[in-house]
Amino acid sequence: MNLASLAPLAVVLPIVGAALTFLLIRHSRAQRVVSILLLSLTLLLECLLLASVWDGGTAAVSIGGWLPPWGIVMVVDQFSSLMLVVSSAVSLAVLVYATGQGMADGDQDAPVSIFHPTYLILVAGVSNAFLSGDLFNLYVGFEILLTASYVLMTLGGTGPRIRAGVTYVVVSVVSSVLFLISIAMVYGATGTVNMADLAMKLGELDQGTRTLLHVMLLVAFGIKAAVFPLSFWLPDSYPTAPAPVTAVFAGLLTKVGVYAMVRTETLLFPGDSLNTPLMVAALLTMVVGILGALAQSDIKRLLSFTLVSHIGYMVFGLAMSSAAGLGAAVFYVAHHITIQTSLFLVTGLIERRGGSSSVDRLGGLAKLSPLLALLFFIPAMNLAGIPPFSGFLGKVGLMQAGIELGTPLAYVLVIGGVLTSLLTLLAVARVWNRAFWRRPSDAEHPDPVLLAPAAGRADGPGAKRNTVTLLPRTMVGSTVGLVVLGLALTVFAGPLFTVSDQAARDMLDRTSYIHAVLGGNIDVPMVATPGGGK
Amino acid sequence: MSVNLTLLIIMGALYACGIYLILERSLTRVLLGLMLLANATNLLILATGGYAGLAPLYSKDIAAGDYSDPLPQALILTSIVISFAVTAFMLGIIYRTWVLARRDEIQADIEDLRVAETPSFDAEDDAEVPAETSEFPMATVLAGGREIPAEQAAAEEKPGSENITPGPEEGGK
């Protein structure tokens, strides 16, 4: 028995945790202990999985002993286990943050007690999607995480959340229906939904059918990943959710879509048949997204737009379908999950400390809370791609791959990428200047909380707010943890780049994936060369 | 693979009605549209299994081709369960919208409208009226030798504004 056969536990553990926390719904302390404990166990397990495939190799587990291509398989390779580790580390940090927020605000009664079970189910869905070696199981994973996200999005049922939730649910359901239609058509065309088996059989279809299936899958995943022009739902729906929920959505949910796109492009439809449209979509995602961010005055909305914009980088790396480009994209996904989530967590802290997340109402936070300023500054510069942070390294990797490719469109994308990076810097620098740098009295509509210290000491006139701790230690601690994780990605960028490059080569080669699932004695069909052919 | 034409026609009709309904602004109709889409997709999955055959219970005397394909049915079952859960949740939030706003309608995003209505946007000078930092009094602004209300002055700066009333010195033109 090898370690990889424990892979299903990455899905089972959070679900067990969800069941337990649901039973403990009246005991919030026990709920917290159980959910944090089980998520830590999951993270530990996933680290072991990553270690077992660190040097390459792919392992597959047949669930219930049904052999592929009939049964469901879970596949552990470098890409999926790297995604699992990063996503679980981030969700653990967010869980601790949310627990701290809950403890600080005193959530003894429903409906917030539903948070823990729902959150764990979300994590289970994400793990299931990452591990799935079967198109329909991928759909089920998506549905698990989406259904949990519907509940988290509308937590508390206030007016704005319901309004945002409606948009979110309708868009997600439509994309799921599209995905299901694609699965039905794939099954109709090939008679299988196992991804390794599909990799063998899709190449035998004629060009027209294959392109149709390819486009259908990419559109379905493109909605989930928020690729332009399918991205308009995201900035409308994410910012209204509670801070930890927005953070975990921003970090994980779109990346699951990106993950599915990567698998579609590399495993199911290798070759470069749709690379040009993907590149154009990537360029538009980057530029339109960041232009949207510049028009926002609410930090959460601004960050949602940068989230959309930076999805463009990953699609760019994917669209190059070269080992260098894909490797950089894998690295960029890992980097972006961490950074985007920490920025949203910091925004939650800003909202608590400054009373608002709108830059028109904020000011002087750098003086009021230097730690908060530092916590915002580091990931913000990282997001904008300032050296020496991991954002810079990821972008350099993408640019190098683009120049290596050398087509005119690739050069346009490289320029677009640099421009987007600069505009991101402008967007976050605006937040920095207005929320942290200027005097609170210079704000357009300063929040009374910020003006209070001017009259006396921070614990003087503002004392009537003392019933709520402004910056609970747990929340700050988990944010610090995540920012440090982001810095660790910078420090250990070398090994991480090695492993993502190797993951990219394995994915482009497909042999190890198909052999792990279907057995070692199968001839893997060659990747279709440009201009068609088998 | 043979296909059942009746199933296909019904599926097409369901898709057409579903797409029409989700384009409506009323939430209940959107929900009905999503249900129709989900059911049309179930028919599509069923159609991929080909014509109905014998129940897929193994018996030595029956050739493999005579059985029904059991996989599409398993897929449909899963998708029915999922769409059931989503429908129940949608009904919940539609009811909640009704309780909160007394309207069965998709509401526009306020922040989107604000950005859409903001005229030529300047990162630093986007306050609608001269901000509190101004040394001039809030209520009026000195422009062209006359005092006009600040809000009107701000409105005049917007491109395409029709609020501009000619001052007394150029009234004759």
Q: What is the pLDDT of residues A181-210, one digit of tens each?
A: 999 999 988 888 888 888 888 888 888 899
**Residue A510 confidence (pLDDT):** 84
Q: Is B32 exposed, middle or buried (0-12, 13-18, 19+ CB in 10 A)?
A: middle
Q: Which of A9-18, B16-25, B131-140 has the lowest mean pLDDT?
A: B131-140
DSSP string of A259-307, one letter each residue: HHHHHIIIIIS-SSTTHHHHHHHHHHHHHHHHHHHHT--BHHHHHHHHH
Q: Which of A83-92, A332-341, B105-114 has the lowest mean pLDDT?
A: B105-114
| Shared-domain flag, residues B20 and B50 | yes
Give domain status of residue B39, yes or no. Answer: yes
**Residue A177 confidence (pLDDT):** 93
Structure tokens that stand for B37 in this block: 């889409």
Give domain status of residue B59, yes or no. Answer: no
Judged against a pLDDT cut of 70, whether residue A93 lies above it is answered with yes
| Shared-domain flag, residues B41 and B88 | yes
Confidence category of residue B40, pLDDT binned at 50, 70, 90: very high
| Chain B residue set in contact with A, beta carbons under 8 Å | 1, 22, 27, 30, 34, 37-38, 41, 44-45, 47-48, 71-72, 75, 78-79, 82, 85-86, 89-90, 93-94, 96-97, 100-101, 106-107, 109, 111-112, 115, 118, 121, 123, 126-127, 131-133
| Shared-domain flag, residues B70 and B149 | no
**Residue A464 confidence (pLDDT):** 44
Confidence category of residue A99, pLDDT binned at 50, 70, 90: confident
Cα–Cα distance, A39 to A32 (Å, whole number): 11
Judged against a pLDDT cut of 80, whether residue A532 lies above it is answered with no
Structure tokens that stand for A59 in this block: 């392992």
| Shared-domain flag, residues B124 and B81 | no
Contacts of B37 in chain A (CB under 8 A): 174, 177
CATH of the domain at B38: 1.10.287.3510
Cα–Cα distance, A222 to A188 (Å, whole number): 23
Q: How many domains does chain B have?
A: 2
What average pLDDT does the segment A60-87 reach? 87
Confidence category of residue A109, pLDDT binned at 50, 70, 90: very low
- The domain in which residue B88 lies consists of 5-54+66-110
| A27 phi-psi bin (left φ>0, alpha ψ -120 to 50, beta other) | beta
**Residue A311 confidence (pLDDT):** 93
| Shared-domain flag, residues B105 and B32 | yes
pLDDT digit string, tens, across residues A411-460: 999 999 999 999 999 999 988 888 888 877 777 777 777 766 544 444 44
ipTM field = 0.84
Parse chain A into domains and list their residue ranges. 271-491
Confidence category of residue A274, pLDDT binned at 50, 70, 90: confident
Tell me: cis bond preceding A111? Omega within 30 of 0 counts.
yes
Judged against a pLDDT cut of 70, whether residue A481 lies above it is answered with yes
Give domain status of residue B35, yes or no. Answer: yes
Give domain status of residue B165, yes or no. Answer: no
**Residue A334 confidence (pLDDT):** 92
Confidence category of residue A110, pLDDT binned at 50, 70, 90: very low
| Shared-domain flag, residues B89 and B129 | no
**Residue A534 confidence (pLDDT):** 31
| Shared-domain flag, residues B23 and B47 | yes
Cα–Cα distance, A50 to A285 (Å, whole number): 31
Cα–Cα distance, A488 to B59 (Å, whole number): 60
Confidence category of residue A527, pLDDT binned at 50, 70, 90: low
Give domain status of residue B169, yes or no. Answer: no
> Which among B41, B91, B106 is the top mutation candidate for probing chain A, defined by the most A β-carbons within 10 Å of its own β-carbon?
B41
